[in-house]
Structure 1
């Protein structure tokens, strides 16, 4: 299969959107239900403008979507399959931890 830079750039953009601890946390918070920005802010020590910027980045890549209800904006996860990728990351972390502990012994 030949290298298609456009295809890989698009994939890299999605991965870049996830490549921040707060954005990863936001994705996991939205896995069960739609939440408003105010509820997401309550779970962190981060201000509302920072959370909104992170949500905007996730929205630009299609990971989340939003809807307005009065003054509140609610976000929902559009791609729950990403949680499978996060589970895979956890497997890598566990394997690395086991390998590190084996080296110490």
Structure 2
């Protein structure tokens, strides 16, 4: 077992898991497709910074219309990345799975490392 991030429940190490089935690979690809969107990544980062935020505040933070933000948030809700709660007329969004923040952090690290290292030829 290994801890993938400090807030995630323990899971088997990647090398200890059986090879992904075709169905599991498709599900993982679908999840990465939802994440592979620059707008949704910016929204996730803004939510990670604030921890919980209303659509109107999120829209202002990223310079988008609230309806456009809501549409993107729905995609993230649909795959279980986000959770929401209502307080009066406001809906507050937060990252549901703490592993998502770790994934964003690792992705950012990979991006920065790739910029700094020369292209490798095998």
Specify the TM-score bucket, using the shorter chain as the normaliser.
0.7 to 0.9
Q: In the alignment, what sits opposite 1:40?
A: 58
Give TM-score scaled by structure 1 length: 0.83
Shift of residue 99 of structure 1?
2.3
Q: Tell me if structure 2 keeps the 8 A contact 1:63–1:79.
A: yes
Which one has a larger percent helix, Structure 1 or Structure 2? 1
Q: In the alignment, what sits opposite 1:24?
A: 41
> How many residue pairs align between the two structures?
101
Shift in CA distance, 35/3, structure 1 to aligned 2, threshold 3 Å: closer
RMSD of Structure 2 on Structure 1 (CA): 1.9
What is the CA–CA distance in structure 1 between the aligned matches of 2:82 and 2:19, rounded to whole Å? 31
1:80 aligns with 2:87: no
Q: Tell me if structure 2 keeps the 8 A contact 1:64–1:75.
A: yes
Shift in CA distance, 2/87, structure 1 to aligned 2, threshold 3 Å: closer
